[in-house]
Amino acid sequence: MKNTLTLTLLAVLLLVLYSQFSELAYKFGFAELKLNAVLENSEHMKVKCDAYSFGFFDEIKLQNKFQKCINDYEAQGYEIVSRTDKQ
């Protein structure tokens, strides 16, 4: 009984610490960024541009790289079919 109670309290404590750590980490710039785009041309050929980063990163640089990929394919006649931005 005492072991079960100790284990339960330990699990609750770890859950609270983890949630606080995650919140603090995001406040200090630790984050996840995932960008996906699927483009298609008139011949129904599909290409994919994606960017992913986890941790401390330069979001503007990553966004610019992702947008350059899209712009390069759009210059070749591709059009965006779907796009997903998750931050």
pLDDT in tens, 9-58: 888 888 877 777 767 777 777 778 899 999 999 999 999 999 998 887 88
pLDDT at 58: 82
Q: What is the mean pLDDT of residues 56-81?
A: 92
pLDDT band at 83 (very low <50, low <70, confident <90, very high): very high
Backbone angles phi, psi at 76, to 5 degrees: -90, 5
pLDDT at residue number 45? 95
Give the pLDDT of residue 22.
Answer: 67
How many CB atoms within 10 Å of residue 34?
13
Look at residues 14, 15, 76 and name the one whose alpha carbon lies nearest to residue 47: 76
pLDDT of residue 65: 94
